[in-house]
């Protein structure tokens, strides 16, 4: 396999990461110096987040490089969408076991495609050798001061909503592990999770809390509950899942993670406004209500009766 032209780390950065990315008008200085310089618009809050993806933990090491890149940037950008941010740019820290030209060219092409679709300028990064492929992506964007959505202000009486079908990523996983190069059907959702940026921006003026579901609906619902000091009561049959309630894989859907859908709360008095979002976001579904904290962070109900929560309610690294 050929190596990057020229030699070493700097030739590799010049060749693959110095150009071809969307240029955001607020970027004063991007790739090439000790730090990037970005001038946020007046009256906006800067939102920043970082996520790491590790080979054979977050994606199969043998997956095509452009799919690995697409997935890594989309998963990172999802955190901005969850808070209602307008995307601006990202930093990329790459640890590579080797520098194969074809692999890097394919990775950079997937990254550029995703960056253009998501409107994220590559601002800089870091490239090192290491024993396995690790991709860390810091993303940033902004929102009018004070308008960003958080996990912490769900109110008793709010409706609970999800942006679309839950469980696609979880049910894709066995297929993806079996054949990492295939990206049709469910595997498409695994490699190309839909980043809900337009919905997040619209929710700034409607939702009381919001987050993206990366680890599993049940576990992530617990994060809003704890941050807001309330209980989230979910209606099992109202959750739009890719496997039906009677299917043995239903539990995997609500605990498996890799959804990157938004979970959000809206005051019941504004339910009609939330329903009207269906014109643009046809998949949104009302799945429960926020109640006063009653000892449990999350309750799962079916036809008024409580369902026992599984021991394993989402992905945890340790």
Binding site for ligand ADP (CB under 6 A): 51, 79, 214
Residues forming beta bridges with residue 289, ordered by sequence position: 159, 233
Cβ atoms of residues 127 and 159 within 8 Å: no
51 binds Mg ion (CB under 5 A): yes
121 interacts with, out of Mg ion, ligand TPP, ligand ADP, none, CB within 5 to 8 A per kind? none
The H-assigned helical ranges of 125-235 are 168-178, 186-191, 197-203, 217-228
Bridge partner residues of 166 (DSSP):
241
Residue 118: φ, ψ to 5°: -95, -5
- Burial, 94: exposed, middle or buried (Cβ in 10 Å; 0-12, 13-18, 19+)? buried
- 295 φ/ψ sector (left φ>0, alpha ψ -120 to 50, else beta): left
Residue closer to ligand TPP (CB basis): 63 or 236: 63
Closest residue by beta carbon to ligand TPP: 257
Which residues carry a binding-site annotation for Mg(2+)?
A: 34, 49, 51, 79, 126, 212, 215
What residues pair up with 209 in beta bridges, in sequence order?
265
Pick the binder of ligand TPP from 12, 36, 60, 300 (CB under 6 A).
Answer: 60
Residue 80 C-beta: closest distance to Mg ion, Å: 12
Is residue 215 within the footprint of ligand TPP (CB under 6 A)? yes
* Contacting residue, 3, 14, 26, 58, with ligand TPP by CB under 6 A: 58
In the bound state with Mg ion, the residue whose beta carbon lies nearer, of 52 and 155, is 52
Residue 104 or 135: the one with the smaller Cβ distance to ligand TPP is 135
- Interface segment toward Mg ion; rule CB under 5 A; list 4-12, 47-55, 120-128, 204-212: 47-55
Q: How far apart are CA 42 and CA 148, in angstroms?
A: 15
Residue 78 CB, shortest distance to ligand ADP, in Å, is 8
Shortest distance, position 52 Cβ to Mg ion, whole Å: 8
Containing 274, the helix (H) or strand (E) segment is: helix 271-276
- Output the smallest distance, CB 41 to ligand TPP, in A: 27
What is the C-alpha to C-alpha distance for residues 274 and 267, in angstroms, rounded to an integer?
A: 9
CB of 98 to ligand ADP, least distance (A): 27
DSSP character for 49?
A: E
Give the single-character DSSP code of 142.
E
Kindly state whether residue 258 participates in binding Mg ion, applying the rule CB under 5 A: no
Number of residues that bind ligand TPP (CB under 6 A): 12
Q: Is 259 in the site for ligand TPP (CB under 6 A)?
A: no
Contact 58, 93 (CB under 8 A): no
Query: Do residues 67 and 165 touch, judged by C-beta distance below 8 A?
Result: no
Nearer to ligand ADP, 58 or 271 (CB): 58
Which parts of this chain interact with ligand TPP (CB under 6 A)?
Answer: 51, 56-60, 173, 214-215, 257-258, 315
């Amino acid at each position: 396999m050929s190596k990057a032209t020229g030699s070493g780390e700097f030739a590799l950065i010049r060749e693959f990461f110095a150009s071809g990315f969307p240029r955001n008008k607020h970027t004063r200085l991007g790739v090439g110096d000790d730090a990037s310089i970005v001038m946020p618009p007046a009256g906006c809050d800067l939102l920043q987040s970082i996520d790491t993806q590790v080979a054979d933990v977050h994606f199969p090491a043998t997956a095509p490089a452009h799919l690995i890149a697409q997935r890594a940037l989309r998963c990172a950008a999802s955190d901005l969408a969850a808070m209602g941010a307008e995307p601006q740019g990202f930093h990329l820290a790459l640890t590579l076991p080797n520098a194969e030209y074809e692999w890097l060219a394919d990775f950079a092409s997937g990254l550029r495609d995703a960056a253009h679709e998501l409107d994220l300028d590559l601002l800089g990064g870091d490239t090192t050798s290491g024993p396995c492929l690790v991709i860390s992506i810091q993303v940033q964007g902004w929102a009018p001061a004070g308008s960003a959505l958080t996990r912490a202000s769900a109110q008793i009486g709010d409706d609970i909503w999800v942006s679309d079908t839950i469980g696609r990523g979880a049910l894709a996983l066995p297929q993806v592990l079996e054949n990492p190069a295939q990206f049709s059907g469910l595997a498409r959702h695994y490699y190309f999770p839909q980043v809900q940026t337009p919905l997040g921006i619209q929710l700034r003026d409607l939702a009381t809390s919001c987050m993206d579901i990366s680890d599993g609906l049940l576990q992530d619902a617990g994060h809003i509950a704890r941050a807001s000091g309330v209980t989230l009561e979910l209606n099992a049959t109202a959750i739009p899942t890719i496997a039906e309630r009677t299917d043995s894989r239903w539990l995997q859907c609500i605990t498996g993670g890799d959804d990157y859908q938004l979970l959000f709360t809206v005051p019941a008095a504004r339910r009609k406004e939330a329903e009207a979002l269906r014109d643009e976001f046809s998949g949104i579904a009302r799945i429960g209500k926020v109640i006063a904290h009653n000892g449990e962070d999350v309750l799962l109900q079916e036809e008024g009766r409580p369902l026992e929560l599984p021991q394993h309610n989402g992905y945890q690294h340790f």
